[in-house]
């Protein structure tokens, strides 16, 4: 199984949440990845934080540890399909989440997120949470 780590999971890791850190240590690094969408969201959070330089350095370091999947036209085709499908069903999901979901579906990955309710709207998407609430 290969896991696509969502932005919130990466933030929990950076903030030292033990359950996330322990799970990450048990999964081989080659079975972990993220999306460039998540990296962008992390840089956004860093830029608006109280310590933008420190937070940016954390994101820079994290990028060296994880493979990042770049969105191609193929993932964006899946994104367009998902967005239209959800709108027809009267559901809306943020474009960033849809891009992450499209990436996971195209590459057959499991999305690891604390936002299960967002991603569970997409029936064929595999999701897990490593966050204890």
Q: What is the pLDDT of residues 46-91, one digit of tens each?
A: 999 999 999 999 999 999 999 999 999 999 999 999 999 999 999 9
Which pLDDT score is estimated for 132? Answer: 77
Which pLDDT score is estimated for 118? Answer: 87
Residue 37, token pair as written in the block: 């969408």
Please say if the pLDDT value at position 133 is more than 90: no
Within 13 A of 125's CA, how many CA atoms are on the CB side?
A: 26
Note the pLDDT tens digit of each residue in 4-37: 999 999 999 999 999 999 999 999 999 999 999 9
Q: How many domains does the chain have?
A: 1
Domain carrying residue 68: 3-128
Q: Is 133 a member of any domain?
A: no
User: Do residues 80 and 87 lie in contact, with contact meaning Cβ atoms separated by under 8 Å?
Assistant: no
For residue 69, what is the domain's CATH number?
3.40.50.1010
33-67 burial by CB neighbour count: b if 16+ within 10 A, else e? bbbebbbebbbebbeeeeeeeebbebbeebeeebe
Distance from the Cα of residue 4 to its chain's centroid: 6
Q: Is 22 a member of any domain?
A: yes
Strand order from edge to edge, sheet including 110-112? 67-69, 32-35, 3-5, 110-112, 126-128
């Amino acid at each position: 199984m290969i896991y696509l780590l969502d932005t919130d999971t990466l933030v929990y890791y950076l903030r030292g949440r033990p359950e996330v850190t322990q799970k990450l240590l048990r999964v081989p690094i080659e079975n972990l990845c993220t999306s460039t969408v998540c990296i962008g969201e992390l840089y956004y959070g860093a830029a608006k934080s109280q310590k933008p330089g420190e937070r940016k350095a954390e994101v820079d370091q994290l990028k060296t540890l994880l493979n990042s999947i770049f969105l191609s036209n193929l993932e964006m085709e899946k994104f367009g399909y998902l967005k239209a499908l959800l709108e027809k069903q009267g559901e809306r999901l943020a474009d960033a989440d849809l891009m992450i979901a499209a990436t996971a579906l195209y590459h057959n990955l499991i999305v690891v997120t604390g936002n299960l309710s967002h991603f569970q709207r997409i029936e064929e998407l595999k999701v897990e949470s490593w966050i204890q609430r």
